Amino acid sequence: MPALFSPPLAVLDGPAAFDGGASPLDLSVPPELRARARAEIPQWAGYAPTPLLRLDGMARALGVGGVLTKYEAGRFGLGSFKALGGAFAVAQAVCGMTQDAIAQAVMVTASDGNHGLSVAWGARRLGCKATIYLHENVAESRADLIRAQGGEVVRVKGNYDDSTHQARADALRHGWHLVSDTAIADDDTAPGVVMAGYTVMMDEIVAELGESAERPTHVFIQGGCGGLAAAAFGALFEAWGATTFVMVEPDKADCLYQSARAGHPVRIEGDLDTVMGGLSVGEVSLTAWKTIQPIVGHYLTIADSAATETMTALGQGRFGDAPLVVGDAGSAGLAGLIEAARDPAIRGALGLDARSVVLTIVTEGAVDQPGYTAITGIDPMAIAEAAA
């Protein structure tokens, strides 16, 4: 069963509630970095805004006014929104270096797959090196994608948190550039740069919706370490003011849920072995938490079965919408919405009704194609061919 926790929050009437008119996102991401991402990323070869899809069949089935999902499977050909963050952090790390220095620079990060792929792609794009630390539960097919971008893969025994600590220690020891997407120490600055890249996606959403009547009443975002959620919720709070923000996490890796209950960041233990691989995180990003804590009003945990059922239903077009390929971590926001809408108590607590317009983000397509097929029994290429 899904579990909902709604902590007491700071009273915020809108962006102006922050001193100097600052946005809550400014707590995690310096405004100048956001401006730089907004200026630079659209100039990269292959850039195009990803689609904002309207899932009318799902909306009818769930009894809400609308379901919108930002579909990130086509982002720079890498299959996920992570392409915006890691590659931007690499670009900022080498800014001002000579070409000889860039060629010798080593970018290091831990990853569940997609962030590492972005860092490797960004390093290859600019001519530097990348070393990606993957824990033992990351599929070898994801490691192969990183190697195909020229990245070196280092396997670490344990879970994602073990790999982040190892990557940080090795980067400090060797003088490498740490481009992590999660901050486990107060002096970790790269996560804010990564999050700045993610805000480009939010700019696209805000620009597309403008002043339309489809402006969301609810936003469901998957958790992980919190980087995406902080970038998304912070930017949307800045644009739209107070909205019903719902954090969605696997019940096997719910560090944000537990941190909200404790009132401060906590690290959860265990193997964190969830099918939602990109959300297999036990330690909150300290950078992201600065934005998340004051403005997120609801934390929802879901079972793995909710994610796999959502992936399969979307791939089969079961709600009446066109079949959609959604990866394991990419399914969490929509899976959380489905679970919440079907649970009368949670539905009531969130105020979901026939007038609600819900925004979600499908953060990845079938990046791990064998894994997707193993879960759903669906060939993702067949869906792509049918759509074409």
Whole-number pLDDT of residue 122:
97
Whole-number pLDDT of residue 130:
97
* Share of residues in the chain with pLDDT > 70 (%): 96
Q: Are residues 321 and 198 in the same domain?
A: yes
Q: Are residues 234 and 141 in the same domain?
A: no
pLDDT band of 13, cuts 50, 70, 90: low
Whole-number pLDDT of residue 362:
98
Instruction: Summarize the confidence of residues 236-262 as an average pLDDT.
Output: 94
Q: Are residues 348 and 211 in the same domain?
A: yes
Number of domains forming the structure of the chain: 2
pLDDT in tens, 272-313: 889 998 899 999 999 999 999 999 999 999 999 999 999 999
The strand pairing partners of 301, in sequence order, are 3, 249
pLDDT band of 241, cuts 50, 70, 90: confident
Whole-number pLDDT of residue 21:
56
| CATH number, residue 278 | 3.40.50.1100
Whole-number pLDDT of residue 19:
52
Instruction: Summarize the confidence of residues 51-76 as an average pLDDT.
Output: 97
Q: Are residues 196 and 318 in the same domain?
A: yes
- Residue where a domain terminates, one of 121, 156, 187: 187
Tokens coding 129: 């090196």
pLDDT in tens, 89-143: 999 999 999 999 999 999 999 998 899 999 999 999 999 999 999 999 899 999 9
- Burial (Cβ within 10 Å: 0-12, 13-18, ≥19) of residue 377: exposed
Q: Are residues 107 and 143 in the same domain?
A: yes
More confident residue, 17 or 383: 383
Whole-number pLDDT of residue 271:
83
Whole-number pLDDT of residue 341:
98
pLDDT band of 14, cuts 50, 70, 90: low
Whole-number pLDDT of residue 18:
54
Whole-number pLDDT of residue 287:
94
- Residue where a domain terminates, one of 157, 187, 217: 187
Evaluate whether 239 touches 260 at the Cβ level (below 8 Å).
Answer: no
Q: Are residues 372 and 239 in the same domain?
A: yes
Q: Is the pLDDT of residue 157 over 60?
A: yes
- Looking at residue 335, its amino acid is A
Q: Is the pLDDT of residue 83 over 80?
A: yes
Instruction: Summarize the confidence of residues 54-75 as an average pLDDT.
Output: 97
Distance CA(69)–CA(170), nearest Å, equals 38
Q: Is the pLDDT of residue 16 over 80?
A: no
**What is the extent of the structural domain holding 298?**
3-81+191-387
Q: Are residues 133 and 267 in the same domain?
A: no
Q: Are residues 217 and 326 in the same domain?
A: yes
pLDDT band of 387, cuts 50, 70, 90: confident
Compute CA distances 315 → 180, 181, 322, 337, whole Å.
Answer: 32, 29, 8, 17
Q: Are residues 234 and 219 in the same domain?
A: yes
Q: Are residues 235 and 357 in the same domain?
A: yes
Q: Is the pLDDT of residue 20 over 70?
A: no
Q: Are residues 65 and 209 in the same domain?
A: yes
pLDDT in tens, 162-220: 999 999 999 999 999 999 999 888 888 999 999 999 999 999 999 999 887 788 999 99
Q: Is the pLDDT of residue 81 over 90?
A: yes
Mean pLDDT of the chain: 93
Q: Are residues 301 and 368 in the same domain?
A: yes
How many other C-beta atoms can be found within 10 angstroms of the C-beta atom of residue 384? Answer: 14
Candidates 237, 358, 374; CA nearest to 292 is 237
- Residue where a domain terminates, one of 158, 187, 216: 187
